[in-house]
Chain A
Amino acid sequence: QSALTQPASVSGSPGQSITISCTGTSSDVGGYNYVSWYQQHPGKAPKLMIYDVSNRPSGVSNRFSGSKSGNTASLTISGLQAEDEADYYCSSYTSSSTPRFGGGTKLTVL
């Protein structure tokens, strides 16, 4: 199974907003509202940031939001902060009843 498609990198200045896309097919992203987003700092474990397309776990800043249109899900981070610099991965439930991760996006805060 190939990974969901994410841009390799995005960047933004402090205070700005950025959006990371995650493109799949009707057999995964487009077919289910089970898209999650994870943040991973270098050398650390992933952290759940968004689940079920747009829900935030307790403790995650409301600067993080998620959405979906067709086969593409998106993670938006508003009011960028230096601590947001990390790798971000989407994942989706699939018609095979297994998950598929995106290839990851490196966010640089300029």
Chain B
Amino acid sequence: EVQLVESGGGLVQPGGSLRLSCAASGFTFSSYWMHWVRQAPGKGLVWVSHINSDGSGTSYADSVKGRFTISRDNAKNTLYLQMNSLRAEDTAVYYCARDDSGGYYVMDVWGKGTTVTVSS
């Protein structure tokens, strides 16, 4: 079964850091671009970042550029999101998603999400 499972969310103080993980199974992880998408409470989906299949290319939304870093370990079938200098507005459910289109943002498999709360 194709599956993505996020972990690493939690409560963190403003200015703090968290690292999210996304464990992939049931498909050849190293063949796919991957994304992080977030959803603030009661709000819509917002793309956060993507990484290409071998990890050599990344992109970020302006709102997280310079604070978040996406990476992957294809040997461990795991995607990561290192989040630094967290702000209250980063509070959201964070989803990882598989890109089935090689970079045209067709996200065909999603995890269930992990919740990040930034609050003092």
B-to-A contact residues, CB < 8 Å: 37, 44-47, 50, 59, 61-62, 95, 97, 100-101, 103-108, 110-113
Chain A, 74-110, contact with B by CB distance < 8 Å: what is the 0/1 string?
0000000000000001011100011111111000000
Chain-B contact segment, one of A15-23, A45-53, A64-72? A45-53
- Chain A residues with CB under 8 Å of B111's CB are 45
> Is A101's CB under 8 angstroms from B46's CB?
yes
Known: A34-B101, A45-B112, A98-B59. A104 touches B44 (CB 8 A): yes
Interface positions of A from 21 to 49, Cβ below 8 Å from B: 32, 34, 36, 38, 40, 44-48
Q: How far is the CB of A8 from chain B (nearest CB, A)?
A: 10
A52, A98, A104: the one within 8 Å of B45 (CB)? A104
Whether the pair A51, B59 counts as a contact (CB closer than 8 A) is no
Q: Which one, B62, B105, B110, contacts A46 given CB within 8 A?
A: B110
Note all chain A residues with C-beta closer than 8 A to B103.
Answer: 97
Q: Residues of B contacting A51 with CB < 8 Å?
A: 100-101, 106, 108
Q: Are B44 and A101 in contact (CB under 8 A)?
A: yes
**A52–B108 CA distance with the chains assembled, in angstroms:** 12
* CB–CB A91/B95 < 8 A: no
> Which residues of A are interface residues toward B (Cβ below 8 A)?
1, 3, 32, 34, 36, 38, 40, 44-48, 51-52, 57, 89, 91-93, 97-104
Contact status of A57 and B108, CB under 8 A, knowing A1-B62, A34-B101:
yes
Q: Is the CB of A98 within 8 A of B44?
A: no
Option from B47, B95, B106, B110 in Cβ contact (under 8 Å) with A100: B47
Most buried by A among B37, B105, B107: B105
- 25 CB-based A-B contacts, threshold 8 Å: A32-B104, A34-B104, A36-B105, A36-B107, A38-B45, A40-B45, A44-B112, A45-B113, A46-B45, A46-B107, A51-B100, A51-B108, A52-B104, A89-B45, A91-B45, A98-B59, A98-B61, A99-B105, A101-B37, A101-B44, A101-B45, A101-B46, A101-B47, A102-B44, A104-B45
